[in-house]
Amino acid sequence: MNFCITAVQLSVAAAFVSIPLVRSRFGATATEAAHAELRRRNVRTSRHEAWAPVRSPPR
C-alpha cells in the first residue's frame, strides 16, 4: 500500500516539476500558434484576457 501511495505522490510531483520545463520549451510556439488561430477566426482579444482568462456572461 505504501508503495502505491509513494508512486502516486511521485507521479503528481513529476507533473508539477514538468510544467515549467514544458512551458519553457513550447510556450512561445504554442502562444504564437494560438494567436494565429484567433486571428484566422477573427476573434478579438484584449490585454485583459492575457492575465485573466475568464469571460463574463453576455448582457
pLDDT class of 34 with cuts at 50, 70, 90: confident
Q: What does the block give as the cell for 54?
A: 475568464
22, 28, 29, 34 alpha-carbon torsion, rounded to 10°: 110
Predicted TM-score of the model (pTM):
0.46
Q: What does the pLDDT read at residue 7?
A: 95
For the beta carbon of residue 38, count every other beta carbon within 10 angstroms. 13
